[in-house]
Amino acid sequence: MKNVTYSLIEEKYNFDGDSRISYGIAAYSNAEIDSSATIVASVHDITSDKERLSKFIKDCNDLHLSIVHLYDVVEDFLV
């Protein structure tokens, strides 16, 4: 799949009165072409480190990561 763009997603989780923010990745097709971008894959609740994940997502975009490798690189990110 060509024209995949990755972006940060932020989610709030609540457990027994406690809340936390976690970040994940959404992959969009055709995001650079027009405003009709569609989410084609996502990985939720990866980390609470927004800065580190933002740098990782920038690398994914800069290197034109194929979507078929998304789950593998996220797994590597977590190790």
Domain ranges within the chain, ordered by starting residue: 4-73
pLDDT of 2 over the 90 cut: no
- Tell me how far CA of residue 65 lies from CA of 3, 23, 70, in angstroms: 10, 19, 7
Going through 1-79 in order, the beta strands assigned E by DSSP cover: 4-15, 18-29, 38-47
pLDDT for 25 equals 98
pLDDT for 26 equals 97
pLDDT for 31 equals 67
What's the pLDDT tens digit per position in 23-76? 999 999 876 666 677 899 999 999 999 999 999 999 999 999 999 999 999 999
pLDDT for 3 equals 83
